[in-house]
Amino acid sequence: MALTLGFSENPPASAARWGQLVVGILCMSMIANLQYGWTLFVGPIHDKLHWGRAEIQVAFTIFVVAETWLTPLEGYVVDRFGPRFIIVVGGILIGASWAMNAYADTLPILYIAAAIGGIGAGGVYAACVGNALKWFPDRRGLATGLTAMGFGAGSSLSIIPIAAMIRSRGYETAFLDFGIGQGLLVFLLGWLLRSPPKRASGAEPVTQTPAVQSLGGTLDYTPWRMVATPVFWVLYLMFVMMASGGLMATAQLGPIASDFHIADIPVSLAGLTLPALTFALSIDRFLNGVTRPFFGWISDKIGRETTMFVAFGLEGVGIILLSQFGRDPVAFVILTGLVFFAWGEIYSLFPATCGDSFGPRHAASNAGLLYTAKGTAALLVPLTSILAARGGWNAVFWVAAALNIGAAIMALAVLKPQRARMRARI
């Protein structure tokens, strides 16, 4: 199998690639509510239709599985034909998904809508992240972090109006209005995206950062060749471990706040007063976005594994503190912010590490294949409702903390030596 050097091409001209990055960030911000705004709808749907929280949360699992498990195929299309088609179609699908949610009167319809939304969101995600990896071979951590920031923080500004619309006009109106608006914007922005040229004449030479240099002679691996390496499976396991805790918090934050009896208690911080749950969701989304370029940039400087150890360990500590002090409304807001700040960086660190290890030529396909780990983790989310019912939320918190701390240790003890051996063989 013929392989080419992963850094044989110079990065494209700055103006073009930064423009592409901005459009990708905007597209990502328009799909954020499909995941991060979901927790606002669980209670109102349950109150009106009495389907049960666990049954309603199956829709969240279906969404995440559909979003993630098709990304290798969507990434292949991006690698082959560019990002435009995938994103334009994705805009149509995500708009249709929330419109269906507005009229869903049975669980099967809710589940079908979740699958449609997941397919659309996954296509947009795969195209934007893959495009960032291709346009920025020299700054993968920062570029994927900024792109993923759109998905993490994109819902922060809309959480308050969505919550207000649900209270004043019902969750059906919120689904319909925001769904159509988000889908339309993605549809229009998708026409602006394109893949970088094979070579950019007159472009500046690649400035390799310490993280990139750590696998200096990286080869371009096809997805089939990538899955035959131990590095991929170590990354996959760590991704599942980290994503499980974060998805639990994303899906269950509303129920947790309700069970702690603090959801509607006013909290005043930095001159702003909001109900505890609304405040937590708003600040969490913002921090969940900011952390992605922050830790991505840090990893460009000090290396991926060291950054993972710090961030993943911080997440584990944050979850433990939340389990102990989360029944205080102010502590709930602050500690959930810490948890989301230490979790969101997985969506920059793992794609960047994948690009470093397996090269840019098949970057969208390879990153999409690794991203299916999020779908695997989503299968565990409904179990948190069962675990909470039997052992309380503390049991859920301790399991999530153990997974995060375990992943932090694996970053230095397993992933780093595996990548060193891979580099030695190259």
Residue 7 or 27, more confident = 27
pLDDT for 396-422, tens place per residue?
Answer: 888 888 999 999 999 999 999 999 888
Report CA dihedral (96, 100, 103, 107) to the nearest 10 degrees. 180
pLDDT for 179-199, tens place per residue?
Answer: 999 999 999 999 999 888 765
52-66, 335-349, 376-390, 391-405: range with lowest mean pLDDT: 376-390
pLDDT for 310-329, tens place per residue?
Answer: 999 999 999 899 888 988 99
Helix (H) or strand (E) run with residue 350 in it: helix 346-358
pLDDT at residue 94, as a whole number: 93
User: Partners of 224 in the beta sheet?
Assistant: none
Question: With 60 as the cut, is the pLDDT of residue 262 above it?
Answer: yes
Report CA dihedral (401, 403, 404, 410) to the nearest 10 degrees. 140
pLDDT at residue 152, as a whole number: 67
pLDDT at residue 273, as a whole number: 82
How far is residue 166's CA from residue 168's CA, in Å, rounded to a whole number? 6
In percent, the amount of the chain with pLDDT more than 70 equals 90
Question: With 60 as the cut, is the pLDDT of residue 12 above it?
Answer: no
State both tokens at 117. 């939304």
Question: With 90 as the cut, is the pLDDT of residue 381 above it?
Answer: no
Average pLDDT, the chain: 84
Looking at the structure, give the CATH architecture of the domain made up of residues 14-194+221-425.
Answer: Up-down Bundle (1.20)
pLDDT for 52-80, tens place per residue?
Answer: 887 888 898 899 888 888 888 888 888 88
Q: Is the pTM of this model over 0.85?
A: no
Q: Is 203 exposed, middle or buried (0-12, 13-18, 19+ CB in 10 A)?
A: middle
- pLDDT band for 214, please (50, 70, 90 cuts): very low
How far is residue 257's CA from residue 272's CA, in Å, rounded to a whole number? 19
Q: Is 390 exposed, middle or buried (0-12, 13-18, 19+ CB in 10 A)?
A: exposed
How far is residue 409's CA from residue 426's CA, in Å, rounded to a whole number? 26
